[in-house]
């Protein structure tokens, strides 16, 4: 007989989050537009988040737009800020609502294949700001997250500019601690094969550096001397860094290489699950443990303060056998205390009798009362 039990629910695959970062003019927004169109063509529409508050026109539909909640111009006016300060403050304001964004993404997780995040062209406003770290950490703690670093290929054809881009990519990688893909854009104007060669062959990069000096181009800094030695040393140092990167050449104009990029994203998602997620879990547990210890320390301090306050409020109790040297008190004999008490009683009676006699003011008394009073006064005089 066939079982009528419902099938066991399978764990939904979380959508990959692609955070696009790039210098101004690198073609980042155009790349986002091309990637969005390509995914729609595959019937896999992405969920798009725009984090650039200063952009005027965005050539694709957004699901979440920072401009809907933060007015960049008003922020600049209200806080008396310049363009970069306005962007950073807008990001700071938006970062306070990132938990709501994560909640929305979690609800949509079963119906979307990927999340695309467009960042400001002023790259340092996002990468090096506290709000940028909060946003990327929040996304990476929930979804497999990949950094796509967009590079202007024609502008990077010279060794000096190429090395500057690689150093910046290195800093982003170690700042975000997330898998990264180098996206050499505008391959329709300049093929990216030279970049792959320089990243895998140190001798090829040295030859290009010397050729740059001999040809006398405007960015040539020489293959010898301090700057040449520095570039050679940096290329050797970055050799290990290159091993952790995927390089993809794309053209946002023609759409060439977009499928290769998506394949690289799949590989980086696996790398995230294998290498980055366990490290993030360890870091999260470490932060929670430190937070727990800090709370316990504050609680212990509070309890200690309460105990001290309680001791201050309680009356001091001195033992009957405490010595006068320890407390500065004189131990009294019990008989002395009793005699002193009786003396106090007698003194009180004597005073009352005298006061009564004085108050009488010469009033008539009986002979017996006067004799009784005289005897008492003589006995106690």
pLDDT at 357 over 90: no
pLDDT at 146 over 90: yes
pLDDT band at 33 (very low <50, low <70, confident <90, very high): very high
pLDDT of residue 66: 95
Q: pLDDT > 70: what percent of the chain? A: 74
pLDDT band at 305 (very low <50, low <70, confident <90, very high): confident
Task: Determine the average pLDDT of the residues in 259-266.
Answer: 95
pLDDT tens, 13-22?
889 999 999 9
Q: What is the dihedral of CA 17, 23, 29, 32, to 10 degrees?
A: -30
Q: Which of 102-116, 144-158, 310-324 has the lowest mean pLDDT?
A: 310-324
Distance CA 135, CA 126 (A): 9
Q: Is 307 exposed, middle or buried (0-12, 13-18, 19+ CB in 10 A)?
A: exposed
pLDDT at 226 over 70: no
CA 120 to each of CA 49, 50, 66, 166, 291: distance values in angstroms, whole numbers, following the listed order: 12, 9, 11, 20, 33
Encoding tokens for residue 305?
Answer: 């303060």
pLDDT of residue 8: 40
pLDDT at 379 over 70: no
The chain-wide mean pLDDT, for the chain, equals 80
* Highest mean pLDDT of the ranges 123-132, 198-207, 352-361: 123-132
pLDDT at 223 over 50: no
Q: Which of 19-23, 132-136, 276-280, 327-331 has the lowest mean pLDDT?
A: 327-331
pLDDT at 140 over 50: yes
Cβ neighbors of 259 (< 8 A, separation 6 or more) are: 38
Short-list 133, 38, 123, 135, CA closest to 94 = 135
Beta-bridged to residue 184, according to DSSP, are 151, 249
Distance CA 234, CA 199 (A): 12
Contact 121, 52 (CB under 8 A): yes
Short-list 85, 60, 62, 63, CA closest to 73 = 85
Of 266 and 314, which is predicted with more confidence?
A: 266
Distance CA 82, CA 361 (A): 99
pLDDT at 42 over 80: yes
pLDDT of residue 110: 86
SS3 letters across the chain:
CCCCCCCCCCCCCCCEEEEEEECCCCCHHHHHHHHHHHHHHCCCCCEEEECCCCCCCCCCCCCEEHHHCCCHHHHHHHHCCCHHHHHHHHHHHHHCCHHHHHHHHHHHCCCCCEEEEECCCCHHHHHCCHHHHHHHHHHHCCCCEEEEEEEECHHHCCHHHHHHHHHHHHHHHHHHCCCEEEEEECCCCCCCHHHHHHHHCHHHHHHHHHHHHHHCCCCCCCCCHHHHHHHHHHHHHCHHHHCCCEEEECCCCCCCCHHHHHHHHHHHHHHHHHHHHHHHHHHHHHHHHHHHHHHHHHHHHHHHHHHHHHHHHCCCCCCCCCCHHHHCCCCCCHHHHHHHHHHHHHHHHHHHHHHHHHHCCCCCCCHHHHHHHHHHHHHHC
The reported pTM is 0.71
Paired sense of beta strands 114-118 and 64-65, if any: unpaired
Distance CA 23, CA 150 (A): 7
pLDDT band at 9 (very low <50, low <70, confident <90, very high): very low
Contact 209, 223 (CB under 8 A): yes
pLDDT at 232 over 60: yes
* Highest mean pLDDT of the ranges 110-124, 330-344, 361-375: 110-124
pLDDT tens, 337-347?
555 555 555 55
pLDDT of residue 49: 96
Distance CA 59, CA 151 (A): 20
**Domains detected in the chain:** 16-200+245-272 (3.40.50.300)
Contact 21, 52 (CB under 8 A): no
pLDDT of residue 48: 96
* Highest mean pLDDT of the ranges 154-158, 228-232, 312-316: 154-158
Encoding tokens for residue 352?
Answer: 């009352």
């Amino acid at each position: 007989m066939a079982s009528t039990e419902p099938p066991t629910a399978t764990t939904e695959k979380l959508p990959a989050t692609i955070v696009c970062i790039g210098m101004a003019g690198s073609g980042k927004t155009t790349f986002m537009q091309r990637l969005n169109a390509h995914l729609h063509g595959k019937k896999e529409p992405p969920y798009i988040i725009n984090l650039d508050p200063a952009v005027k026109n965005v050539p694709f539909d957004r699901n979440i737009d920072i401009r809907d909640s933060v007015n960049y111009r008003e922020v600049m006016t209200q806080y008396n800020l310049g363009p970069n300060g306005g962007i950073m403050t807008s990001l700071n304001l938006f970062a306070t609502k990132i938990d709501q964004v994560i909640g929305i993404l979690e609800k949509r997780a079963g119906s979307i294949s990927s999340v695309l995040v467009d960042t400001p062209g002023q790259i340092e406003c996002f990468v090096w700001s506290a709000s940028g770290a909060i946003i990327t950490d929040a996304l990476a703690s929930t979804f497999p997250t990949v950094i796509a670093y967009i590079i202007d290929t024609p502008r990077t054809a010279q060794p000096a500019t190429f090395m500057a881009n690689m150093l910046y990519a290195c800093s982003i990688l170690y700042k975000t601690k997330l898998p990264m893909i180098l996206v050499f854009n505008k391959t329709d104007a300049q093929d990216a094969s030279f970049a792959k060669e320089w990243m895998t062959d140190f001798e090829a990069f040295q030859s290009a550096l010397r050729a740059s000096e001999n040809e006398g181009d405007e960015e040539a800094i020489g293959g010898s001397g301090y700057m040449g030695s520095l570039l050679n040393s940096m290329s050797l140092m970055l050799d290990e860094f290159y091993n952790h990167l995927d390089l993809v050449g794309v053209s946002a104009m023609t759409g060439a290489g977009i499928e290769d990029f998506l394949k690289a994203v799949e590989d980086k998602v696996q790398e995230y699950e294998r290498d980055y997620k366990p490290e993030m879990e360890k870091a999260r547990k470490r932060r929670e443990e430190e937070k727990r210890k800090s709370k316990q320390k504050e609680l212990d301090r509070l309890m200690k303060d309460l105990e001290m306050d309680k001791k201050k409020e309680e009356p001091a109790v001195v033992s009957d056998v405490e010595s006068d040297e320890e407390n500065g008190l004189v131990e009294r004999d019990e008989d002395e205390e009793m005699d002193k008490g009786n003396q106090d009683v007698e003194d009180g009676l004597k005073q009352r009798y005298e006061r009564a006699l004085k108050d009488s003011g010469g009033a008539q008394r009986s002979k017996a009362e006067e004799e009784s009073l005289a005897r008492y006064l003589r006995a106690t005089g």
